[in-house]
Structure 1
Amino acid sequence: MNPLHKHTPLAKAILEILSEISNIAEDKYGELPSGTIRAFIFGGCAVHIYTNARGSNDLDVELEASRRLDINELIVELDDADYDDEDGTHRTLSFDNTFNPAIPDLHPDWRDDAILIQSGEAVMHIYLVSAVDIAISKLGRCTSHDVNDIVSLYVAERFSIEDFTKRACEALYYSPTPDRLRCNIAYATQVLKSL
């Protein structure tokens, strides 16, 4: 498998925001055990870590706390991360507090198949949602931007067409709009096969 792009300026900004959430949690609740918070990276930031193909100005993350932590209380104090991109352009990354993983179509096993990218003694363990599940999450809207993300992940050899169609068809059983999702799967698959 190709290495992940975890050391780009954007990837460092992602980790900076997630580290700040850990720091805020410990400031509020005291010393916390390793893995008290789990973060699952979605959206354009996940596409970037897999492909380095594009950036994002918002961080879509699902946060889960294993203790009685009020996640909303933590993110209200969160600052944006400022960084300079590879081309020297100044950028800002913001935490998207409106992101909800229940909205995009997803396979029910997406958590189990996420890639652990930071753990150890850290309060927050960070996971990257699998590339095929990121692609499936893009099928709900299926705009040209979303299709470009699916293509970028495929071209970066993060999944095969067979893996994509199998996983997407399994997600159909859990979709509130299976007819729309079925059409979008067919369209995205056709685009991938035409490459």
Structure 2
Amino acid sequence: MPVRKSILVKTATATLMALTAPALSHPHIFAEARLDITIGKDRNVEALHHVWRFDDLFSSTVLVEFDKNQDMALDADELKDVADTVHASLADYNYFQTVTHDGKDVDMRAPDRLIADFVDNQLIILFETKPDAALTLDGKVDFAVYDPTFYTAIDFLEDAYMAVEAMPDGCSRAVIRPDAEEAIAQNQQTLTEAFFNDPTGNDLSKIFATRLEITCGRDS
């Protein structure tokens, strides 16, 4: 397997690039997440609002690496450096989000910017994304947030943390939390040795991702 790059690297860029470093079989960075989806009056998905709160160890590493004036805090310019680095490092991974409409991938626009904050000694990242083309709620639309390299675990601790604003009549929401063993059993033919040796070369990790499923009648 590829040699693992340590999270405790000594350059600022590499610290946050570790978000997308090739993984072995388990995550090394943990984040609690919230996803809020805004729906317009035309039943189109207007925006996805993401909030990630990172674990203490990763947050403290980021603090040390980006605290240029060594005052044990991150000022506005330092936080912007953090946000810009995350923005660049996640671009090739669609910002850990996947959206499908009746099983087909939906293209999402990259966020114009990310916002970084430090609250209670934990790094928080906020950003907004939008569908590249009109995405109307009919049939089944799924939203998930996952790291295709398995390096970062994005967890929604409560179902309520995957929320929909202005849910149209005739639509229902459900939070799907796949059972890992069942997911492996159902997909064992595709979980090949190449997948484990090169986790960045596919998106099979989405079978393990917690996802929000919105189902709407075609004529609702």
Q: With CA pairs under 8 Å and 6+ residues apart, which has the higher RCO, 1 or 2?
A: 2
Higher strand content, 1 or 2: 2
- Taking structure 1 as the reference length, what is the TM-score of the superposition? 0.28
Greater CA radius of gyration, 1 or 2? 2
